[in-house]
Amino acid sequence: MRTKIRWWRYLPLTLAALVFAFPFYFMVVGAFQVNPTNSPSSLFPTDGWTTQNFSAIDSRLDLGGSLLNSLIFTTGVLLGTVVFGLLAGYALARLDFRGKAATWVLMLLIQMVPFQLLMIPLYVQVTRTYGLGDSYLGMILPFAINTTAVFIFTQFFRALPQEVFEAARIDGASELRILRSVAVPLVRPALVTVLLVTFIGPWNEFLWPFLITKDVTMQPLAVSLANYISNVAQSTANPNGAILAGATTLAFPVVVLFCIFQRYFTASEIGSAVKG
C-alpha cells in the first residue's frame, strides 16, 4: 500500500517534468533534422539526421566573436550584480540608517516597472549623456544593479542569527569584514541562485545590446542569432532547422551551467553558526 501511494505521489511530478522538458526536446531534435515538422514522426526520427543546420550558422556568423562578446557582457553584469547586491542587501538587512524603510519600498517599486518602459530614457542617457554608445560598458551599465538580487540577498541576510554579527563586532571586525568572512559563506545558496538567475537575463538579452551598438563585431551571441533567425534563416534550404539550431546554440550554455551548479540549491545550515 505504501509503495502504491508513493508511486501516485510522483506521477504528477513526472508528468509535469515531461511537459516542461518537451519544448527543449523538440528544439534539440529539430536542430539536427533535415526537415523538422510538427508531425508525430518528427518527434522520434529514425533517419534524416544532419549537422548542416549548425554549419549554416557557423558560415554566416562569427560564433567565436559573438560568444566572446556575450561572455564579456554577461560577466560584467554578473560582477556588478553580485558586488552591489551583496552590499545593498547587507545594508538593508543588518544596518540601521535614515531612510532604510523608504529605500526598501523604492526598491520593491522598481521591481514592478518593466525594463521596456525605461529603455528609451536609459538609451538617451547612456548614449548622449554618458557617450557610451558602441561600448561594452554601455551594454553592462543598466543591468549592473539588479533589484531582484538585492531582494534575495536581503532576505537571506535577515534569516541569519543576530548573535553571529554581534560576536563579530565584539571581536572588532568591521562591517565589510563581517560581510566577507561571516555573512557571505552562510548565504552560498542565495549567491548561486543570483548567479544563475542573473546569467539567463543578459545571456538571452538582444534588444538592449542591439540598440547600444550596431557594430557587428561587438554584438553578443543573442543579437547575432536574432539577426540570423529573422534575416537569414528563412532563405536557407531548411529554415525550421536553422531556427531551432540557433535556439539550441543559445540555450546550450545555460543548460550546462544549470547542470553544474544545481546541486548547490540547498538550504544553508545557518543555525550551526550559533552554539547551544
Residue 10: inside a domain = no
137 versus 10: the higher-pLDDT residue is: 137
- pLDDT tops 60 at residue 1: no
264 versus 77: the higher-pLDDT residue is: 77
164 versus 76: the higher-pLDDT residue is: 76
pLDDT at 217: 86
Q: What average pLDDT score do residues 213-238 get?
A: 79
Q: What average pLDDT score do residues 207-219 get?
A: 86
pLDDT at 87: 93
Residue 17 CA to residue 254 CA, distance in Å, equals: 18
Each residue of 238-249: pLDDT tens digit? 777 777 888 888
Please give, one letter per residue, the 3-state secondary structure of 65-117.
Answer: HHHHHHHHHHHHHHHHHHHHHHHHHHHHHHCCCCCHHHHHHHHHHHHCCCHHH
Q: Which helix (DSSP H) or strand (DSSP E) does residue 205 occupy?
A: none
Give Rg (Cα) of the chain. Answer: 23
Residue 116: inside a domain = yes
pLDDT at 270: 43
CATH of the domain at 82: 1.10.3720.10
pLDDT at 74: 92
pLDDT at 275: 43
- pLDDT tops 50 at residue 276: no
Three-state secondary-structure class, residue 33? strand
- pLDDT tops 80 at residue 98: yes
228 versus 83: the higher-pLDDT residue is: 83
The model's confidence at residue 272, banded by pLDDT at 50, 70 and 90, is: very low
Residue 253 CA to residue 202 CA, distance in Å, equals: 13
Q: What average pLDDT score do residues 9-23 get?
A: 84
Residue 200 CA to residue 146 CA, distance in Å, equals: 13
**What is the rounded end-to-end Cα distance, in angstroms, of the chain?**
42
> The cell 560581510 sits on which residue?
179
Biggest alpha carbon distance in the chain? 71
Q: What average pLDDT score do residues 180-201 get?
A: 85
Mean residue pLDDT of the chain comes to 82
Residue 41: inside a domain = no
- Print the domain residue range for 261: 52-273
Length in residues, the chain: 276
For 9-30, b/e burial (b = at least 16 CB within 10 A) is: eeeeeeeeeeeeeeeeeebbbb
Total domains in the chain come to 1
Residue 20 CA to residue 52 CA, distance in Å, equals: 28
Percent of the chain residues past pLDDT 90, beyond the cut: 17
CA 198 to centroid of chain Cα atoms? 3
> The cell 544545481 sits on which residue?
262
pLDDT at 195: 86
What is the DSSP code string of 118-145?
HHHHHHHIIIIIS--TTSHHHHHGGGSS
Determine contact, residues 113/147, Cβ cutoff 8 Å.
no
pLDDT at 8: 72
134 versus 56: the higher-pLDDT residue is: 134
Residue 24: inside a domain = no
Each residue of 36-94: pLDDT tens digit? 665 555 566 656 677 888 887 877 788 788 889 999 999 999 999 999 999 999 999 98
Residue 227: inside a domain = yes
Residue 209: inside a domain = yes
Q: What average pLDDT score do residues 97-117 get?
A: 88
